[in-house]
Amino acid sequence: MCGIAGYIPLKKNEVDASRLKEMTNVISHRGPDDEGFFIDELVGLGHRRLSIIDLSKDGHQPMSNDDGLIITYNGEVYNYIELREELEKEGEIFKTKTDTEVILAAYKKWGRDCVKKFNGMWAFAIYDSKNKILFCSRDHYGIKPFYYTRKENVFLFGSEIRQLLFSFEKPIMNEEVVRNFLFASVNESVDKTFFKNIVKLPGGHNLTINLKTGKIEIEEYYSLERDLALSTLPMEESIEKFGEDFLKSIKIRLRSDVVVGSCLSGGLDSSSVASIASNIYKTDSGRNFSAITAVSEEVKNDESGFAKIVAENGEMNWITVKPDYTTFKEHLPEIVKAQEEPFGSCSIVMQFLVMKSAKENGITVLLDGQGGDETLLGYERYYVGYLIGMFKKHGFFRGISELKISNKNNALFTPLTLLKYLIHFSSARFRYIIYRKRHSYLKRMPEYPMGMRFSDGAIWDIFEMQKKELMDYNLPKLLRFEDKNSMWYSIEARLPFLDPDLVKTSLSIPEESKINEGWTKFVLRKFVNNILPKEITWRKNKFGFEAPEDTWIKKHSNEMIKSIEDSDILRYLCKMDEIEKSYDSLENETKWKLYSVALWEKEFNVQPGEGY
């Protein structure tokens, strides 16, 4: 896990070595163990290393081989051992034990198709000095970031936005992205950022630059597809197949030459990951596994009691952090700086402090449960799509029967609640009307934001709804938060639920194995039924690392109002007199988003527009 930088001069200019060094230095937190550079007349590559696999100097980057390939790489290809063995059979000779060298050999053997064989998370650039090609790639779901900008005479890329800001006289907001963020629950775009002219390579995509012509091509190499052979599996076989892939995903993500631990909220996903990982880790290393929990000072969303049960059951080294308002206030400026873009909730603070605790306790790799809800129908909104599927496949009476049984095990699955979800996710126009009323303080309403339109009609096909949430809507923002929070403290976060084989299995097995009699994520519950205590496996509520939002926002209200009033961007976008009049009646989410934009503007000196 590392940080990368690239300075690619176009039109026969030279690499600015001092700029490249600056681009690499500002991400030293992503790689405190080593730095390196490669510069020739066409390409400048920079690297900061966080040593995880092969801690020796053999892992130094940018790394080159005898075939004229040079790489700067951030991430982990977990199946590098299997790939190395495959390549050795083809005659490839390796000089190191790193996954980085395996990537170079894989590119030599399979070209750009090599990424289709990788199981992992990555953002890298390979310079093919013989053919004058720069090949860049980002992992299936965009776990690792790849930002870039193209000016007239230079192409720049990096792991963080701050690396690219020097190329602009003044950072300018991307008005569309900021307005959509304020208007709807759209916290992330797959290819745009909150900064004008700074963009992202989407997950599952490659980018290639012909250095002779300067031509840039972007291609999609990965798209979620359903395995029809799994779609009719009986329940027991679905559980067996899911469990097999889940165990494999966790085991391969424990490959490390440094200490591995886990986030533990007390919910089903993180509890399952931590408990299974703990058993494997203790068997393989002889040491107790560590798990870190964020404790909320509000009883209504505190899950630490459940986390304690899991930790004791798994004989884990349990570490807790309990941030109060003072801690929140002290760390907020640093979190704003780390995130680089506005964020829609102060719950992100809890995750940030878990990462800080990992650093303080010498844990360099943390497993986490991101992706479990999206792949296993964990959100209540999926239930309407599930019921529709039941009516389609099994008829009216089966659907009604399922609805009655579900309400016994899940109080949220009432006919009224389901009707609300059906209306909400069937009509973008209905949602748009609600948001227009809620955000009447905006001077100009956006047209239907993509994040609002994404599920229009998708509720009638639950696979399509899951696919869009994973690739386009819900997951990308969670991955951004996780990457920025973890790497700020030089922590590598690994996500077992997002193993591509496990994702395909999870989305392909029958819906009845994921929602059953009101139990969401049923296949996971059944698989861990003899691993976790029953009060965890069959919990009916969940929170995640939720912050004591009501308490913090109430105490922080004066500072929030002042920052909002002082914001040039908000004055440009909003009717400030209306915000001031109605501020107390605004929802916490709206207050926080306005405040987050103001904090971001101040931290990065962002301007509303040209000549403002």
Q: Which residues are catalytic?
A: 2
3-state SS string over 215-279? Answer: EEEEEECCCCCCCHHHCCCCHHHHHHHHHHHHHHHHHHCCCCCCCEEEECCCCHHHHHHHHHHHH
Q: How is residue 44 annotated by DSSP?
A: E
What does the block give as tokens for 13?
A: 């200019």
Distances (CA, A) of 130 to 207, 335, 483: 18, 43, 34
Among candidates 457, 475, 423, which has minimal Cα distance to 188? 475
419 contacts 382 by C-beta, under 8 angstroms: no
What values do phi and psi take at 288, rounded to 5? -70, 145
CB 295 within 8 A of CB 304: yes
DSSP codes, 309-347: HHHHHTT-EEEEE---HHHHHHHHHHHHHHH-S--S-TT
Q: Is 422 helix (H, G, I), strand (E, B) or coil?
A: helix
Q: How far apart are CA 556 and CA 351, in angstroms?
A: 20
- Asked whether 232 and 179 are in contact (CB, 8 A), the reply is no
Total residues belonging to the chain: 612
Please give the helix or strand (H or E) that residue 171 lies within, else none.
none
**Distance (Å, rounded) from C-alpha 386 to C-alpha 415?**
14
473 within 8 A of 454, measured Cβ to Cβ:
yes
Are the C-beta atoms of residues 272 and 524 closer than 8 Å to each other? yes
Select from 284, 223, 229 the least CA-distant residue to 254.
284
Q: Which two tokens stand for residue 192?
A: 């745009």
**Could you identify the residue written with the tokens 């080294």?**
317
The CA distance from 176 to 238, in Å, is 43
CA separation (Å) from 390 to 158, 399, 401, 403, 465?
Answer: 46, 5, 10, 10, 16
User: Hunting for tokens 């509720």 — which residue is that?
Assistant: 459
Residue with tokens 């909730």: 345
How would DSSP label each residue in 120-136?
EEEEEEEEETTTTEEEE
Q: Which residues contact residue 170 at a Cβ distance below 8 angstroms, ignoring those fewer than 6 apart? A: 605, 607
Q: Which of 584, 569, 529 is nearest to 175 (CA)?
A: 569
**Residue among 125, 109, 39 nearest 75 (CA):** 125
Please report where in the chains the tokens 């900008």 appear, as a residue.
149
Residue 223 near residue 140 (C-beta atoms within 8 A): no
Tokens found for residue 355: 């990462």
C-alpha 203: how far from chain center = 10
Q: How far does Cα 538 stand from its chain's mean position?
A: 27
